[in-house]
């Protein structure tokens, strides 16, 4: 009996194998994103636009093997800020008197200065003539919110702590003023495609840094639709199980 008890005490239960993957079933994230400029990259023509986003994200794992971790990804942006360059119209009048008149012009598609001659004769016979110049003179920030309910993320080499990934979304943005110009809409559609790296500090927490092509467009639902193309930098703190 003593021998049996001794042998039983010496038998240890094998420890559960550690999860070989750095991957979570459900992931929540908090992120900030920034773009200092816009240009004619692919679809948009509005230039000199800035973006600042603060939001949250949710991932759900769909498929996992040693090569790829395929996840659903959705984003909610309670704070979506967009900045447009504001122009002024300056008239250098030469007739009937010499004077300079400055008038606010509003957001413009690009900041290339435009100059034109003008000559207007009124019914009283007086002709006003001179030169008009439109140029950018400031910036206007517009507050909005957005959501990207359609999105996917593919992490590669999920057994490693540092994983390259590809990400893409489709959604909308609503702003308190029309963007990027006054004749465009307050409701816009958005989509983005990006590449990045995700570093897992543990199996439950990670940091993501990424670089995205981001597009905003009203899809011709307003009078004008110049569209906005940005290269967006985003950092996300993610956690879950």
The answer as to whether 144 is a domain residue is no
Q: pLDDT tens across 56-87, in order? A: 999 999 999 999 999 999 999 999 999 999 99
pLDDT of 13 reads: 46
CA distance 99 to 154: 62
Give the number of domains in the chain: 1
pLDDT of 1 reads: 46
Average pLDDT, the chain: 92
Containing domain of residue 102, as a range? 86-138
The answer as to whether 126 is a domain residue is yes
pLDDT of 45 reads: 95
DSSP 94-116: EESS-EEEEEEEEE-S----EEE
Q: Which residue has the tokens 């006003």?
A: 128
**Angle at 169 (CA atoms; ends 191, 38), nearest 5 degrees:** 35
pLDDT of 5 reads: 43
Q: pLDDT tens across 81-123, in order? A: 999 999 999 999 999 999 999 999 999 999 999 999 999 999 9
CB-CB contact of 23 with 59 (8 Å): no
* Stretch 168-189: mean pLDDT: 97
Residue 19's pLDDT band (cuts 50, 70, 90):
confident
* Stretch 37-50: mean pLDDT: 96
Tell me: pLDDT of 15 over 50: no
pLDDT of 17 reads: 53
Tell me: pLDDT of 205 over 70: yes
3 state SS of 89 = strand
CB-CB contact of 84 with 179 (8 Å): yes
The answer as to whether 53 is a domain residue is no
pLDDT of 18 reads: 72
In sequence order, the 6+-apart residues with CB closer than 8 A to the CB of 214 are 35, 51, 190, 191, 192, 229, 230, 231, 232
pLDDT of 6 reads: 47
């Amino acid at each position: 009996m003593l021998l049996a008890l001794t042998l039983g005490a010496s038998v240890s239960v094998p420890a559960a194998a550690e999860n070989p993957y750095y991957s979570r079933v459900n992931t929540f994230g908090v992120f900030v994103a920034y773009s200092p400029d816009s240009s004619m990259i692919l679809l948009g023509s509005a230039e000199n636009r800035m973006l600042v986003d603060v939001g949250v994200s949710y991932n759900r794992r769909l498929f996992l093997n040693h090569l790829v971790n395929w996840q659903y990804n959705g984003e909610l942006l309670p704070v979506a800020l967009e900045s447009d360059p504001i122009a002024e119209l300056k008239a250098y009048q030469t007739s009937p008197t010499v004077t300079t008149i400055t008038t606010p012009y509003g957001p413009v598609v690009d900041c290339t200065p435009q100059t034109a001659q003008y000559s207007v004769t009124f019914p009283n016979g007086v002709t006003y003539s001179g030169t008009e110049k439109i140029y950018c003179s400031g910036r206007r920030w517009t507050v909005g919110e957005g959501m990207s309910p359609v999105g996917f993320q593919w992490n590669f080499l999920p057994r490693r702590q540092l994983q390259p990934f590809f990400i893409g979304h489709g959604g909308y943005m609503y702003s308190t003023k029309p963007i990027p110009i006054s004749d465009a809409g307050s409701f816009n559609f958005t989509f983005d495609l990006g590449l990045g790296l995700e570093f897992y500090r543990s199996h439950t927490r990670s940091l993501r840094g990424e670089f995205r092509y981001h597009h905003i467009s009203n899809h011709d639902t307003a009078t004008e639709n110049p569209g906005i193309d940005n290269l967006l930098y985003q950092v996300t703190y993610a956690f879950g199980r």
